[in-house]
Structure 1
Amino acid sequence: MLIKNGTVVTMNKKREIIKADILIEGNIIKEIRPNIDIQDDKVIDATGKAVIPGLIQTHIHLTQTLFRGQADDLELLDWLKLRIWPLEGGHTPESNYLSAKLGIAELIKGGTTSIIDMETVHHTDSAIEAIYETGFRAVTGKCMMDYGTEVPSTLMENAEDSINESVELLKKWHNKGNGRIKYAFAPRFVVSCTEDLLLRVRDLAKEYDVMIHTHASENRGEIEFVEKDRGMRNIIYLHKLGMTGEKLILAHCIWLDDEEMRILSDTGTKISHCPSSNLKLASGIAKIPELIDMGANVSIAADGAPCNNNLDAFTEMRMAALIQKARLLSPTAMPAMKVFELATINGAKAMCMKDKLGSIEVGKIADIAIVNLNKLHNAPNEEVDIISQLVYSAKAEDVETTIIDGKIVMKDRKLTTIDEKALLEDVNKIIKTQIDRAGVKK
């Protein structure tokens, strides 16, 4: 495959932006330079367009995409207990498959090529099947929940069953799809997990050399519960259990004290920032500039469709920049380049794939998005900082072509691995059944 005449936003160490062609062989970027002259039947003309690394979102719930608009205007714990947990508990293999496929379709159309995903307790196999079939890239895992008086019976499990099912899924799916699919253990959060489960997850993640993906310090009620139930603050507790480190990614991390921020920075624990979700659930605003200044690795994500309500990385980048400027009353609190790093190279680090993803460089995997910035909402398109355009004015709909693992999954806004019309029909048919099954009619 040859991408010709694009403005390549490399995100290499020098942050070079160059006019060049990109030659892809198999799934690897083989050459980047102007005027590559070869005969190839797969030539994409990117004249006047930005060619960017595929965007990476590091905290997504594909299992929740089907429930968009079903849990609005609630704070986190009510959102979970009254709506999301019952809805997740009502999933069937078919509905979870369709939910994942819907999320993947939206992500691809917005230039996102990789995610870290947390599924629900049951039917994870169906969701991973959707990831596999569509050619998407994901670190994913079954949600684990074995504790709590308010967890519905449809989601409550015992630790042994949770561990056994997780290990079976890991053995089936880890590194499948030419390495596109990675498995991660996914205990939901301390509130819904026993200490025994967390300790066993810690040990199994080390044994299998995989990541752990969980939530932490998102909501003040959550913080209060953990302090009362475990006798210490969230991050301190996870650190005491020996879970912190480069293979742990924590979503949100809003309500941190200085000691917790230092622990995350010193241990190399990954943080996924979800600005729109944090605002919509009234959870708060994370101290992202301070964490970055301390050396923490921060990436970005949309979270789930019911708390956002979209999976658009461009919206998240713009939001991540603006909320910190207002919080700190400083226009330079989160400049455009720093924000774009969250969605590219920092995302690759969060996935433990910094040597393979996150930038357009020779030898890296060809996960690429081609963005048409020649639109009214981006104009004028001359004498302007392209990174600023991408962060402040670009939209998901500006992405024209998406390439994952060297394969075109969207060309000229048309999905190539998903029948968009049929998918929309299927999800609209099934949603009423799912609401009825969950018993959460408004």
Structure 2
Amino acid sequence: MSILIKNGTLVTMNSRREVLQGDIYIENDRIAALGQAPATADRVIDAGGQLVIPGLIQPHIHLCQTLFRGRADDLELLDWLRLRIWPLEGAHDAESIYYSALLGIGELFRSGTTTIVDMESVHHTGAAIEAIAQSGMRAMTGKVMMDYGDDVPATLKETTEASLEESINLLEKWHGYDHGRIQYAFEPRFVVSCTEELLLAVRDLARRYGVKIHTHASENRGECDLVEKLHGRRNVLYLDDIGLTGPDLILVHCIWLNEEEKEILARTGTRVVHCPSSNLKIASGICPVPELLDRGTVVSLAADGAPCNNNLDAFMEMRLAALIQKPLHGPTTMPAPLVFELATLGGARALGMEQEIGSLEVGKKADLALVSLDGLHTQPADGVNVYAQLVYQAKGTDVTLTMVDGQIVMEKGELKTIDAAEVRRKANEAVQRIARRAGLA
């Protein structure tokens, strides 16, 4: 299958950060030509008046939580988990988690996200991965691991042995699926819900299988206090002491850091994911992104889960990531080109896939999105820097086409691999069932 996208403005994000007027030619799952392209193809798409961008990459999403949107508002992190999210996650069944995943993926496709790092729940992860496989989303995913904590409900708490065994089984079934479109990661939830025995085993297994570790850290002051009480050390220092830090660790939030912890993240090459909407809504704080970047830390952007954000739109995350730092560090901090890099190449670096995704270059995967500039909120368009258009003006609803692996998964609002009407119906049925089971109806 070949696809020719004509007459677009190509925001390449290549090493020269070229913005080209022209065409992009796709053969099967790869970009075959840019700028000057063959005159015809199996499918020709006119992108006149639109930006063609690399697919947006969000290295921290909870697809299992999409059903809980609007059911855990106006709470701080630990109450949000204990009173709402953990009981609801524990009430999931295989069907509900499947439709929760499809609901989230459909929303992500409609707003131009083509790759995610997904953190599932303790149970029924296989059903969520089935949804990812069916949809065409590029994803790194895994079951969450929780073997410790008095506040963890019985519906989520597992033994160390069971957690490890199920994770290995899922990895061996799904890692590398569809020529690597799906990858597996070990996903201990966070230090306060995991024994050291589990964390050490995860460290060793991740190295043995050559996969990533994906976890939360230093999101909330109460969480940080618990870690110090349990282990006598701050969060990042503890993770470093037990050998988890490094380029294969995707560490989410990283708000409450001291100077030593910032140095550790930079020195070890640990990947940090910034979730501005979630951090603001749960009142967790603001990640010191400019300081981390100044030290050379790889930072990327993500929406987190729907109940702590209420939408999964990467354009909102870009805008907020730029704006929230400016009152603290001045108006030139977090300029639009840098923020757009975090949402594309930054995400690719987090996954260790910068040679495959994150930019529009010949030979790379055909993961991309088309963004219309026809809206009144994006006018006037002439003479405006494309990065300003993308970060400060555009919205997820301006995306007209999303492509993963050369497959069009959304076009003009229509999902091509997901039955939106069925997902809407099944999701609403499932959340009522889950809420009753969790005692939160």
TM-score (norm 2): 0.99
User: What is residue 231 of structure 1 aligned with on the other side?
Assistant: 232
Report the Cα offset of residue 431 of structure 1: 1.4
User: What is residue 83 of structure 1 aligned with on the other side?
Assistant: 84
| SS at 2:100 equivalent | helix
Quick one: which amino acid aligns to residue 212 of structure 2?
Answer: M
Q: Aligned partners of 2:335, 2:195: CA distance in 1, in Å?
A: 40
User: What is residue 59 of structure 2 aligned with on the other side?
Assistant: 58
Whether the 8 Å contact between 1:82 and 1:440 is mirrored in structure 2 is: no
Report the Cα offset of residue 408 of structure 1: 0.5
User: What is residue 12 of structure 1 aligned with on the other side?
Assistant: 14
Q: Aligned partners of 2:56, 2:178: CA distance in 1, in Å?
A: 19
User: What is residue 47 of structure 1 aligned with on the other side?
Assistant: 48
The CA RMSD measured in Å over matched residues stands at: 0.7
2:26 corresponds to which of 20, 24, 27: 24
The reply to whether residue 282 of structure 1 matches residue 283 of structure 2 is yes
Quick one: which amino acid aligns to residue 373 of structure 1?
Answer: L
Report the Cα offset of residue 38 of structure 1: 3.2
Bigger shift: residues 332-341 or 195-204: 332-341
| SS at 1:377 equivalent | helix
Whether the 8 Å contact between 2:25 and 2:38 is mirrored in structure 1 is: no
Runs of 4+ that moved beyond 3 A? none
Report the Cα offset of residue 327 of structure 1: 2.3
User: What is residue 390 of structure 1 aligned with on the other side?
Assistant: 390
Report the Cα offset of residue 37 of structure 1: 3.4
Quick one: which amino acid aligns to residue 110 of structure 1?
Answer: S
Unaligned runs of 5+ in 1: none
For residues 391-437 of structure 1, the C-alpha deviation after alignment (integer angstroms, 9 at most, x for no partner) is 00100000000000111001122110011112111111221111001
User: What is residue 402 of structure 1 aligned with on the other side?
Assistant: 402
Q: Aligned partners of 2:35, 2:75: CA distance in 1, in Å?
A: 51
| SS at 1:70 equivalent | coil
Q: Aligned partners of 2:236, 2:403: CA distance in 1, in Å?
A: 37
Bigger shift: residues 406-415 or 112-121: 406-415
* Aligned residue runs from structure 1 range 61-72, under 5 A: 61-72=62-73
| SS at 1:72 equivalent | coil
For residues 147-188 of structure 1, the C-alpha deviation after alignment (integer angstroms, 9 at most, x for no partner) is 000100000001100000000000000010221100000000
Q: Aligned partners of 1:270, 1:98: CA distance in 2, in Å?
A: 30
Q: Aligned partners of 2:437, 2:99: CA distance in 1, in Å?
A: 16
| SS at 1:384 equivalent | coil
Q: Aligned partners of 2:371, 2:305: CA distance in 1, in Å?
A: 24
Quick one: which amino acid aligns to residue 21 of structure 1?
Answer: D
Quick one: which amino acid aligns to residue 423 of structure 2?
Answer: L
| SS at 1:32 equivalent | strand
Q: Aligned partners of 1:8, 1:126: CA distance in 2, in Å?
A: 37
Q: Aligned partners of 2:287, 2:141: CA distance in 1, in Å?
A: 24
* Aligned residue runs from structure 1 range 188-199, under 5 A: 188-199=189-200
Over the matched positions of the two proteins, sequence identity in percent amounts to 61
TM-score (norm 1): 0.99
Report the Cα offset of residue 440 of structure 1: 2.0
Whether the 8 Å contact between 2:188 and 2:194 is mirrored in structure 1 is: yes
Give the total of aligned pairs. Answer: 439
Q: Aligned partners of 2:51, 2:333: CA distance in 1, in Å?
A: 26
The reply to whether residue 92 of structure 1 matches residue 85 of structure 2 is no
Unaligned runs of 5+ in 2: none
Q: Aligned partners of 1:302, 1:37: CA distance in 2, in Å?
A: 38
User: What is residue 310 of structure 1 aligned with on the other side?
Assistant: 311
Q: Aligned partners of 1:405, 1:331: CA distance in 2, in Å?
A: 38
Q: Aligned partners of 1:37, 1:217: CA distance in 2, in Å?
A: 50
Whether the 8 Å contact between 1:107 and 1:113 is mirrored in structure 2 is: yes
Q: Aligned partners of 2:242, 2:72: CA distance in 1, in Å?
A: 33
For residues 372-396 of structure 1, the C-alpha deviation after alignment (integer angstroms, 9 at most, x for no partner) is 0121011001010111010001000
Whether the 8 Å contact between 1:22 and 1:29 is mirrored in structure 2 is: yes
For residues 220-246 of structure 1, the C-alpha deviation after alignment (integer angstroms, 9 at most, x for no partner) is 000000001011000000000001000
Quick one: which amino acid aligns to residue 61 of structure 1?
Answer: H
| SS at 2:387 equivalent | helix
The reply to whether residue 161 of structure 1 matches residue 169 of structure 2 is no
The reply to whether residue 343 of structure 1 matches residue 343 of structure 2 is yes
Quick one: which amino acid aligns to residue 24 of structure 1?
Answer: I
User: What is residue 174 of structure 1 aligned with on the other side?
Assistant: 175
User: What is residue 367 of structure 1 aligned with on the other side?
Assistant: 367
